[in-house]
Amino acid sequence: MKFAVQSKGDPTSNKIKEQITRYLTGFDLIYDEEEPDIVISVGGDGTLLHAFHRYVHRLADTAFVGVHTGHLGFYADWTPDEVEKLVIHLAKTPFQVVEYPLLEVVIRFNNNQSEKRYLALNECTVKATEGSLVIDVIIKGDKFETFRGDGLCISTPTGSTAYNKALFGAILHPSLSAIQLTEMASINNRVYRTIGSPLVLPEHHTCILKPVNDVNFNITIDHLFLVHKDVHSLQYRVAEERIRFARFRPFPFWRRVKESFVGD
């Protein structure tokens, strides 16, 4: 089995990366950053986002596992104390895998026929490059509303505890293959009207955003910031691909939510 370790880059994470690499090579696993079967991310949820985008081209062949060197993460749920236990688990293959849904984003442009496709593990956000975002929201082919406000956020179930939560979106269990659309400060008055509530779309329900006037947008895909000009439309749906996490012990999602946000 081939493995890679992605560190956040701070001294603590680097030390644990070294330790994991030493243990696993001792168990005759091969360090291979190009084609790993398993990627161990050491740092935080942000580190796992980096690892995901580094290996997004080979999701079917790569499983992820996260160790947190700061606070408990949603993707990084192993503590540094558990590293020895984790490597022993890893060394005795095969491991169990759980799969979580991803968001597919297709951005189409006006000038040519080109399009860009992205996968997001947490979410995609859209904001105007200046002024308010004014954009038509089309759901399953029907115009739903014209949104005016700061921006829109489309998140995955595992991303629902990230930016989405700050926008008062619901927390979605990752066994639900769905995406969630939340608003950022919509303008609502006698002229402008949006639904206001977060919308949860199941598999195969496509949401398209179409510019009304301005065609330049600030778009984020997880931690990545992109500026896209001359945008014709943005299309969202549950992706065919899924992320695979190596599972060695149960750590139920709702317990992770409680430990992260409620405490004891």
Q: Which residues of this chain interact with ligand NAP, rule CB under 6 A?
A: 44-46, 49, 70, 73-74, 122-123, 158-159, 161-163, 166, 222-223
DSSP 95: P
Residues 121 and 64 sit within 8 Å (Cβ to Cβ): no
166 binds, among ligand NAP, Mn ion, none (CB under 5 to 8 A by kind): ligand NAP
CA 201 to CA 259: how far, in whole Å? Answer: 27
Q: Which is nearer to ligand NAP, 24 or 52 (CB)?
A: 52
Instruction: Give the closest residue to 239 by CA, choosing from 209, 200, 206, 198.
Output: 206
86 binds, among ligand NAP, Mn ion, none (CB under 5 to 8 A by kind): none
Nearest distance, CB of residue 169 and Mn ion, angstroms: 19
Nearest distance, CB of residue 71 and ligand NAP, angstroms: 6
- In this structure, the dihedral spanned by the alpha carbons of residues 32, 35, 38 and 42, taken in order and rounded to 10 degrees, is 60
147 binds, among Mn ion, ligand NAP, none (CB under 5 to 8 A by kind): none
Nearest distance, CB of residue 120 and ligand NAP, angstroms: 8
Q: Which is nearer to Mn ion, 44 or 211 (CB)?
A: 44
222 binds, among Mn ion, ligand NAP, none (CB under 5 to 8 A by kind): ligand NAP
Q: How many helices (H) and strands (E) does the chain have?
A: 5, 16
198 binds, among ligand NAP, Mn ion, none (CB under 5 to 8 A by kind): none
Residue nearest to Mn ion (CB): 46
The b/e string for 108-135 (b: 16+ C-beta within 10 A; e otherwise) is bbeeeeeeeebbbbbbbbbbbeeebbbb
Q: Which is nearer to ligand NAP, 136 or 259 (CB)?
A: 259
Nearest distance, CB of residue 155 and ligand NAP, angstroms: 8
Instruction: Give the closest residue to 121 by CA, choosing from 224, 194, 216, 33.
Output: 224
Residues 201 and 139 sit within 8 Å (Cβ to Cβ): yes
The b/e string for 252-264 (b: 16+ C-beta within 10 A; e otherwise) is ebeebbeebeeee
Name the catalytic one among 10, 28, 37, 45: 45
DSSP 173: P
Nearest distance, CB of residue 66 and Mn ion, angstroms: 12
Please indicate whether residue 45 is annotated as part of the active site: yes
Q: Which is nearer to ligand NAP, 21 or 182 (CB)?
A: 182
Q: Give the interface with Mn ion as residue ranges (CB under 5 A).
A: 44, 46
Q: Which is nearer to ligand NAP, 29 or 200 (CB)?
A: 200
Question: Which residues participate in catalysis according to the annotation?
Answer: 45
